[in-house]
A and B are shown apart, each in its own frame.
Chain A
Amino acid sequence: MSAAPRVKDAGLAALIALALAFPLIGFETSDAGVGFSTRFSWVAIAAAVVFAGRLLFGLVPRRFHLHQFGVRKTAIPQGKLVKLASAALIVFAVLLPVTPFASRRSIDLGTLALIYVILGWGLNVVVGLAGLLDLGYVAFYAVGAYTFALAAQWYHVSFWEMLPLSGMTAATAGILLGIPVLRLRGDYLAIVTLGFGEIVRIVLNNWTAVTGGPNGIGDIPRPSVFGMPIAAGAPAGVTTFNHFFGIAYDPIQRLIWLYYVALAVALAINWFSLRVRRLPIGRAWEALREDEIACRALGLNPTTTKLSAFAIGAMTGGFAGALFAARAGFISPESFNFQESATVLSIVVLGGMGSQLGVALAAVILATLPEFGREFAQYRMLIFGAAMVAIMIWRPRGIFTIRAPSVRLDRI
């Protein structure tokens, strides 16, 4: 393009930006709807930015555009890089409580990040591997959390007894939900799962007799150390962790312990996910994502294949739910709304569907971003939403992803 049409094109883009920004950025009404203030300078800035951006984008030669960078064209041996980065991440995670970053806040945040990592990996099986878009994933997270919280409330069972059961209950819920809906086409499946997710939340919110309604459930027990609670004192007959090891009680010990529990669960799930991808079922998931009709022609049962992905994803969500309940000590339906599902989905999409490391990085970024300042907290979802669009356009397989084949010819 020569200069004149390029300027015209940028001008047009700026004009559209002006029309977009003018009503919503240009005016701000008072909440009662009687007066307003204007911010026309912002509108002008928005239009100018779009003009400049469009002009500069047009100047960049086509071969340097983002989507021209295929994964295979990069010079770095990515397989090795992924391994190195994964190892570094794990070492950092293990050592976090003894680094100078360690504080009550940072360790608690680390636990939250790990919960998102687990959720991301769980949804990754469903969306990234099996190609089933589940928009109600948070329902299984809720089932896990409420299973633990309710059992603890009524039967005084401990975290360790309930962790597997939370996973099982969520997996059962996944199968029960999956049986009727999994024969639906991709986008219909997404909407139906969204509907189920919302139903679960509404029921939790209104079935006050059982779930406590919007007030939620409190007093959820923390995980013990092999049966010994971490506490300053204990009722007769109970040995505390602190007493047994002769360590003075410090509230941070609970946080550190929960952090390591979450890390252990995360690593176990990572091992499981990597392993299962190389099993026949894992390959069947990916084949299903690529072409369901071809799968049927090869004798693969689409229903059981989808159900297994759904159940495993749900189970992982259930584990995350139990950890979430143990971390907060309190749960309410508010934590399990659609925004949460969308957040986890954005983690999977940004991390690169199918990539363990990418999903972990995206989860950590999402969970810790608000800590870097109020602006980040405010703009977090705005950026994540925009990034989801950008990723779909330029790098649909994710920023960090290269897909490692599940089998190789030379490795036998």
Chain B
Amino acid sequence: MTRQPLLAVENLSMRFGGVIAVDDLSFTAYRGEITAIIGPNGAGKTTVFNCLTGFYRPTGGTLVLTQDGLHFRLERLKGYRIARHAGVARTFQNVRLFAGMTVLENLVVAQHVALTRASGYNIGGLLGLKSHREAERAAIARAREWLDLIDLRERADEDAGNLPYGAQRRLEIVRAMCTGPRLLCVDEPAAGLNPRESAELGRFLVMIRDRFGVGILLIEHDMSVVMGISDHVIVLNYGKKVADASPSEVRRDPAVIKAYLGEEEE
């Protein structure tokens, strides 16, 4: 199978006042692959995510998402439209679940766009039309499938805020997947997890990649996760790309070791 490019980042830069957080960054992420972005703290990884998902407007460069003959210029789409139209979903470094709503509701809200359309922009739903009831049932069924995958079916009707931390992390990924994305951006999913949970999470991401064929962008500090599951790795330092290669190549790259891994491996 040939690699299908999904996201092409060209010359992306992001400046805050005098600080250059991302400097002339270019890379490609492929469909059905896990692309890891690693680098020391402050390297600009989350800033890349924020540019991709519409929270920041890049100072320069282009971000093109291509799939099935459709092209989306992400730097021109505003805010929520990136998730809605281009199909870029994300999770957050500090988990952002709807803590006061149930686990199931979190997953149903993620299917808001489709549900709204099926409910005749709520009016059909207000009148109790069949199309809405069916769409809601389908949304719940889909949520249930995902909950089975992360072993949370039993807790579906509990407040999401009451879940243990690891479960919240998994739920947030699943919630992003419920939007039906083309590209999933995961920001430090293993942060705060123990080694066993991290390994499990890695396998879960691989499963998502293989079963749903989405492209995954992964920011992660836990090298065992990154090296174990990534298809290729991009290394950032001070907003600049230091390396872009397969995990085994990156591990051997002297520039990377100097900039980053050198501190990590003793």
Contacts and interface: CB of A to CB of B under 8 A. Distances in A.
A298 B89 contact: yes
Contacts of A298: 80, 83, 89, 109-110, 112, 175-176, 179
B98 A299 contact: no
B255 interface: no
B157 A409 contact: yes
Interface string A278-295: 111101101101110111
A283 B139 CA distance: 13
A279 B99 CA distance: 19
Contact of A407 (B79, B90, B108): B108
Interface string B91-118: 0100011111110110011101101100
Contact of A412 (B83, B132, B137): B137
B126 A409 contact: no
Contacts of A296: 54-55, 79-80, 83
Nearest to B113: A299
Most buried by B among A272, A293, A295: A295
Given A279-B122, A409-B104, A294 B92 contact: yes
A291 B179 contact: no
Which secondary structure characterizes the binding site on chain B?
Answer: helix
A294 B140 contact: no
Contact of B96 (A275, A294, A406, A408): A294
Contacts of B153: 409
Contacts of B115: 280
A287 to B, nearest CB: 5
A209 B137 CA distance: 56
A301 B98 CA distance: 16
B146 to A, nearest CB: 12
A280 B131 CA distance: 13
A280 B90 CA distance: 21
Contacts of B79: 296, 302
Given A298-B175, A409-B104, A276 B98 contact: no
A405 B109 contact: no
Chain A interface residue bracket vs B: 20 to 34
A393 interface: no
B156 A409 contact: yes
Contacts, number: 120
Interface string A42-54: 0000000000000
A280 B132 CA distance: 10
Nearest to A409: B156
A283 B92 contact: no
Contact of B144 (A286, A294, A300, A409): A409
B104 A286 contact: no
B43 to A, nearest CB: 22
A403 B157 contact: no
B119 interface: yes
B126 A279 contact: yes
A305 B99 CA distance: 19
A342 to B, nearest CB: 25
B120 to A, nearest CB: 10
Contacts of A409: 104, 140, 143-144, 147, 153, 156-157
A275 B98 CA distance: 21
B84 interface: yes
B23 interface: no
B33 interface: no
Interface in A181-229: none
B126 A294 contact: no
Contacts of A412: 137, 140-141
A215 to B, nearest CB: 42
B244 interface: no
A276 B126 contact: yes
13 contacts: A279-B125, A279-B126, A283-B105, A287-B98, A294-B92, A296-B54, A297-B90, A298-B89, A298-B110, A298-B176, A405-B157, A406-B108, A409-B157
Interface of B: 53-55, 79-81, 83-85, 89-90, 92, 96-102, 104-105, 108-110, 112-113, 115-116, 119, 122, 125-126, 132, 136-137, 140-141, 143-144, 147, 153, 156-157, 175-176, 179
Given A284-B109, A296-B54, A297-B80, 17 more contacts: A275-B126, A278-B125, A279-B132, A280-B112, A286-B105, A293-B92, A297-B89, A299-B80, A299-B83, A406-B108, A407-B104, A408-B156, A409-B104, A409-B147, A409-B153, A410-B157, A412-B137
